[in-house]
Amino acid sequence: TTCYAPTAKGGRIDHKYSSGDSVAWLLEAQSGAAIEIVFSYFETYFNETFIDASDWVVVYECDSPSCETRTTLASGSGAYNKFAVTSCTGIMLLTFLSSGQGSGVGFRAKYYELPVCPYSLGSSTSLRAPADSKTLADANRVA
């Protein structure tokens, strides 16, 4: 696994991949800030018959940069509409794992710091979509 640690003030991840790829990105906001990633394009290989043979993106919220303690915020395989994920701890681990059974186009995402977490009503994490799209959990797969 190749790990990247871009500065979380803001940036872009544009990941086009080959079958068998495995990559992780650790995104850290400055102390006290939240971090949000917005996927504008998302298409990975999805096998409806054998889910384990699919290619997966998983987004975790971590308590520390080591990510020893982490919570899954979102995961997806296939094609989805635009969606966003927010970590109120300010530490996010984005992983991509290709099963090696096929490949898709990949994904594009922008990430940035939020000065405060917009989801502070009893929950430290939230999955939401921009106003013009659906959440990953509710998204309809694109055919």
The per-residue pLDDT for range 16-52, each reduced to its tens digit, is 888 888 899 999 887 778 999 999 989 999 988 888 8
- Band of the pLDDT at 5, cuts 50, 70, 90? low
Query: Of 52-56, 91-95, 115-119, 139-143, where does mean pLDDT reach its minimum?
Result: 139-143
pTM for the full predicted model: 0.77
Cβ contact 42:107 at 8 Å: yes
- CB 98, CB 45: distance < 8 Å: yes
Beta-carbon count within 10 A of 135 CB? 17
CB burial of residue 40 (10 Å; 0-12, 13-18, 19+): middle
Give tens-digit pLDDT for 126-136. 333 333 333 33
Do residues 98 and 20 touch, judged by C-beta distance below 8 A? Answer: yes
Range of weakest confidence among 2-6, 7-11, 12-16, 102-106: 2-6
Q: Pull the structure tokens for residue 88.
A: 């109120």
Residues 6+ apart with CB under 8 A from 131: none
How buried is residue 27: exposed, middle or buried, by Cβ count under 10 Å (0-12/13-18/19+)?
buried
Residue 3 CB partners (closer than 8 Å, separation 6+): 23, 24, 25, 26
